[in-house]
Structure 1
Amino acid sequence: MTALGAVFRPQLAPERLRGFARAADRSGLDELWLWEDCFLESGIATASAALAWTERLRVGIGLLPVPLRNVALTAMETATLRRLFPGRFAVGLGHGIQDWMGQAGARAESPVTLLREHLNAMRALLRGERVSVDGRYVKLDAVALDWPPEAGGSEAEGACAGAAVLAGARGPRSLRLSGEAADGTVLDASSTLEDVRAARRLIDEGRAAAGRTGHHTVVVYLHAATGADAGHRLRAELEREGLATAHAHRPDLGLGVAGDAATVAKAVQRVAEAGADTVVLQPTADEPDPENFVRFAADQVRPLVP
C-alpha cells in the first residue's frame, strides 16, 4: 500500500506545529514530514514535539544536513526517539545546500564523501555496533550507543524501524550512493515521474554493486494545492522553484497537482507507479489553511489511493 504524508513547512512558525500534527494524527494521515532547512527550524526538536503530541502518526525528517552534525550525536538522538516512539520515527540525511553550509562554516570539499561516511557510521551505530573509523570527515574511536534502537520492526514501519536511515539524493552519484549505503531515498518535489523511475534504476545499481538485497524505501514529495485558487497558487509555487515553464508545457511530468481529491489521488497514484513507496504532499508556501490541508489529504485523498 502506498503511504500518504504531508509536509509541515518550516516557513510556518514553530508554534503552528502542534495544531498541524494533531490534525494529521486525528484525521488518520499516515505520515508527517519535517525539514531542517537553514536557518528555520530544528528537525530533531520538531520531530520530538510532533511525536509527543500524537498517538499513531509516523514522523519523518527529510532531511538533516550532515555537515552541521556530528554522527554520534545524530545517532544518539535517532536511537532515543526510536525507543521512545517505536516504529514511528524516520530519519533522512543529506549533504546540505552548500551555500547554507558555507554560511555556517561547515562547507565540505566533498559532500558525497561526507554523506557516505556519515551514512555508514550512522547505520552501524544504530545496529548497536562499536564503531572506530578514521575517515576524511567522520572520526570515531570505539563509539557505541548504550541505548541503540530495539531490533526488528514490521514492514509497515519500514524506514522508521531499527537501524534504517534514508538519504536525500538527486544526482546520479548521490542516488547510487543511497542504494549502496542507505535504507531508503528521499526525492524532493522537483522530481518528475521520469526522475522517479530513473532514481529507482540508479538506486538499484548502487544496491547491486554493494550486494544489498531487500526493499529500499523511496519517499517522494509532490507539490499539491486544493481549493478555489489551487491552480494559481500551484503555478506561482512552481515559478518560485524555477519549474513553472516545464510544468506549463508538460503537465504529465508530475511536478505538481492542483484540484479536488480525485485529481490529487490520481497524481499520487502516478508517482507511486513510478516507484514511490510514500508520497508526501507538499502544500504551497502560501497555503491559507495548513490544518485543513492535512484533513483534506487524510479524509478525502487517502481513501482514493490504493
Structure 2
Amino acid sequence: MTTLGAVFLPQLPPERLRSVVTAADAAGLEELWLWEDCFLEGGLTTAAAALAWSSNLRVGVGLLPVPLRNVAVAAMEVATLFRLFPGRPIITVGHGVQDWMGQVGARAESPLTLLREYTLALRALLAGARVSTQGRYVRLDDVALDWPPTGPAPILVGATGPKSIRLSGEVGDGTLLTAGTDVAGVRRARALADEGRTAAGRTDPSHLVVYLHCATGPDATARLAAERTRWGYADDLDVMAAGDEHAVAARVRQWAEAGADRVILQPTADDPDPEGFVRFVAERVRPLVER
C-alpha cells in the first residue's frame, strides 16, 4: 500500500509547526516531512518538537546535509529520537545544496565520497557497532554510542543524479526523490536504486519516497503555475497535482504505480491554510488512494 504524507515547508515560521502537527495527528496523516534548508529551520530540532506534539504521526526529515554535521554528533541526535519515539522518526541524509555548503565553508570536493562514507558510518553507529574508520572525510577512532536505538533505525538517502541514486540503493535503506521528479523519473530511480542494491549484495527491503507538488482550492492551478516558475520547471514537465481530492488521488496513484512506496504532497509556499492542507491529504485524498 502506498504511504501518503505532506510537507511542512520551512518558509513557515517555526511557531506555526505545532498547529500543523496537531492538525495532522488528529486527522490521521501518516507522515509529515520537514526540511533542513539553509538558512531556515533545523531539521532535528523541529522533528523532535513534532514528535513530542503528536502521538501517531511519523515525522520525516528530508534531508540532513551531511557536510554540516559531524557523523558522530548526528548519530547521537538521531539515536535519541529513535529511543524517545520508536518507529516514528524517518531520517534522510544527502549532499545538501552545494551553493549553500559553499556559503558556510563546508563544500566537499567529492560529495559522493562523503555521502558514501557518512551513510555507512551513521548506519553502523545506529546499529550499535563500535566504529573505526579513516576515510577521505569521515574519520572515527573507536566510536560507539552508549544509547543506540533499541529497534530499527533506517536511514534514507536523498538523491537526484544517477550516481547518487545508485549509491542510495547501495548504502541506504531507501531513496528520497525531490519534487520535480516525473513518473518516468521515478521508474528510472527505482531501477538505479535496485542496481545499487544488487551490486552491494543486499536483499533487504528498500523504500522509494517522492515529493509531489500539490495544490487544492479555487486558485490551485494559478498557484502551481507560479510554483513551476519559481522552481524553473519546463512547461512540459509533468510534476504537479492540482484540484479536488479525486484529481489529486489520481495523480498520486500514477507516481505509486511507477514505483514510489511513499508519495509526499508538497504544498505551495503561499498555501493559505497549511493546517487545512494536511487535513485535506489525510481525510479526503488518503481514502481514495487506498482504493
TM beyond 0.5:
yes
Q: Which residue of 1 aligns with 2:40?
A: 40
Q: Which residue of 1 aligns with 2:10?
A: 10
* Structure 1 unaligned regions, length at least 5: 152-161, 248-252
Q: Which residue of 1 aligns with 2:235?
A: 245
**Equivalences, count:** 290
Whether the 8 Å CA contact 1:10–1:34 is kept in 2: the answer is yes
Alignment of 1:65-144 (within 5 A): 65-144=65-144
Question: Residue 154 of structure 2 aligns to a residue in which SS?
Answer: coil
Normalised to the residue count of structure 2, the TM-score between the two structures is 0.98
Question: Partners of 1:37 and 1:288 in 2: how far apart?
Answer: 21
Q: Which residue of 2 aligns with 1:57?
A: 57
Question: Deviation at 1:244?
Answer: 4.6
Alignment of 1:125-274 (within 5 A): 125-151=125-151, 162-247=152-237, 253=238, 255-274=239-258
Question: Partners of 2:107 and 2:234 in 1: how far apart?
Answer: 30
Paired letter, 2:36: E
Worse overlay, 235-244 or 57-66: 235-244
Question: Partners of 1:46 and 1:289 in 2: how far apart?
Answer: 20
Question: Partners of 1:191 and 1:29 in 2: how far apart?
Answer: 23
Paired letter, 1:41: E
Question: Partners of 1:164 and 1:216 in 2: how far apart?
Answer: 10
Question: Partners of 1:292 and 1:179 in 2: how far apart?
Answer: 35
Q: CA deviation digits over 1:248-270, x for unaligned, max 9?
A: xxxxx3x0011000000011111
Question: Partners of 1:88 and 1:37 in 2: how far apart?
Answer: 22
Question: Residue 83 of structure 2 aligns to a residue in which SS?
Answer: helix
1:277 aligns with 2:267: no
1:286 aligns with 2:275: no
Question: Partners of 1:244 and 1:302 in 2: how far apart?
Answer: 29
* Structure 2 unaligned regions, length at least 5: none
Question: Residue 257 of structure 1 aligns to a residue in which SS?
Answer: strand
Question: Residue 86 of structure 1 aligns to a residue in which SS?
Answer: coil
Q: Which residue of 2 aligns with 1:302?
A: 286
Whether the 8 Å CA contact 2:82–2:153 is kept in 1: the answer is no
Aligned CA RMSD, in angstroms, stands at 0.7
Whether the 8 Å CA contact 1:5–1:30 is kept in 2: the answer is yes
